[in-house]
Amino acid sequence: MKTAITELLNIEYPIFQGGMAWVAEHHLAAAVSNAGGLGILASGGAPCEHVREEIRKTKALTDRPFGVNVMLMNPEVDAIAHMLVEEGVQVVTTGAGSPEKYFPLWKEAGIKIIPVVASVALARRMEKFGCDAVIAEGCESGGHIGEATTMTLVPQVVRAVNIPVIAAGGIGDGHGVAAAFMLGAEGVQVGTRFLVADESQIHENYKERVIKAKDIDSQVTGRSTGHPIRVLRNPMTRTYLKMEAEGASFEELEVMTLGSLRRAVVEGDVKGGSLMAGQIAGLIDKRQSCKEIIEEMMTEAVDVMTAAAKRFQ
């Protein structure tokens, strides 16, 4: 399938793998790129040299394009921004703020810049500063979220900018891919479904929890603090939401969640860890390789769009 995104990045399928902190490491990113999508490494809060090492490990596993997600609140973000140029990274996605201060550096190096946006205003600002595309991410997604849904955000961003838009949030099968295209997107970003990929290195307990999740199993914590995060419900979220309702301070809530994502991903703590996952988790019921996931999604998307077109002939 050819779209503006596949042409821009020289990839086979218009599917990005989300840059999920502690999850999106070299095994997963390389597998997605080898399957024809765009694998993305997460910098999260990691030190610069750790991210550099992940880039080199990814290059050892694939000769296809891949990207790095830069979390702009990382204490070493300046060093990471320059290191990406040194390592010849081809694509950068960004989150948790505006990356405009790094645009001159990255553009001079020929890096494709694709920020994650949660509003029309930020999408327009990013286009003004010269980004190559934007990822419009709705609140159905796992992890840090905005307010608008994918269904409402994507078409408004598409209408507001003249660069390609990638839809994200609540997309986990071919029907979701087809819907994103109908909203005007040129590609999709998928996170939660790749959590259970064979190449994903997260703890088996975490994978099993995603596979067993029901449609009502995601919750949003941190709305009162201004840092809402979508996760799967567990004893930790129940305690958090209770404390939040009782007026606990940001500092009290932060102490409880400090290191909780690592506990879930690395240690398999599904009771006290932060099980970041999107609302689409209830749709995921099997483990597959990245290649199988991507090919199934694209085949289904084409079938869905073909069937829909026939209805209006």
Domains and CATH numbers, the chain: 4-201+285-311 (3.20.20.70), 214-276 (no CATH)
User: Is the distance from CB of 93 to CB of 67 less than 8 angstroms?
Assistant: yes
Q: How far is CA 56 from CA 31, 63, 289, 306, in A?
A: 15, 11, 22, 41
DSSP 3-state of 117: strand
CA pair distance 166, 30, nearest whole angstrom: 20
Q: What residues contact 70, with CB distance under 8 A and at least 6 apart?
A: 43, 77, 80, 81, 84, 92, 93, 94, 95, 99, 102
The predicted structure's pLDDT at residue 95:
86
* The pair of three-digit structure tokens given for residue 90, joined into one six-digit string: 């081809």
Q: Count of H helices and E strands in the chain? A: 14, 11
The predicted structure's pLDDT at residue 67:
96
Specify which residues 143 forms β-bridges with: 230
* The pair of three-digit structure tokens given for residue 28, joined into one six-digit string: 């997963």
User: Is the distance from CB of 264 to CB of 275 less than 8 angstroms?
Assistant: yes
What is the bridge-based pairing of β-strands 143-144 and 229-232?
A: antiparallel
In the sheet that holds 143-144, the strands lie side by side as: 143-144, 229-232, 218-221
The predicted structure's pLDDT at residue 25:
95
**Rounded to a whole number, what is the distance in angstroms from the first to the last CA of the chain?**
23
CA pair distance 167, 204, nearest whole angstrom: 28
User: Is the distance from CB of 171 to CB of 37 less than 8 angstroms?
Assistant: no
pLDDT tens-place values along the chain, 313 residues long: 789 999 999 999 999 999 998 899 999 999 999 999 999 999 988 899 999 999 999 999 999 999 999 998 889 999 999 999 999 999 999 988 889 899 999 999 999 999 999 999 999 999 999 999 999 999 999 988 888 999 999 999 999 999 999 999 999 999 999 999 999 999 999 999 999 999 999 999 999 999 999 999 999 998 888 888 999 999 999 998 998 888 888 888 888 888 888 899 999 999 999 999 999 999 999 999 999 999 999 999 999 999 988 888 7
Query: What does residue 152 show for φ and ψ, rounded to 5 degrees?
Result: -90, -35
The predicted structure's pLDDT at residue 177:
96
Specify which residues 165 forms β-bridges with: 134
Q: How far is CA 242 from CA 232, 238, 254, 278, in A?
A: 16, 6, 14, 21
Whether the CA torsion 265, 270, 273, 279 is positive or negative: it is: positive
User: Is the distance from CB of 97 to CB of 73 less than 8 angstroms?
Assistant: yes
- For the chain, state the CA radius of gyration: 18
DSSP 3-state of 281: helix
Query: What does residue 29 show for φ and ψ, rounded to 5 degrees?
Result: -60, -45
Which pTM was predicted?
0.91
Query: What does residue 42 show for φ and ψ, rounded to 5 degrees?
Result: -100, 130
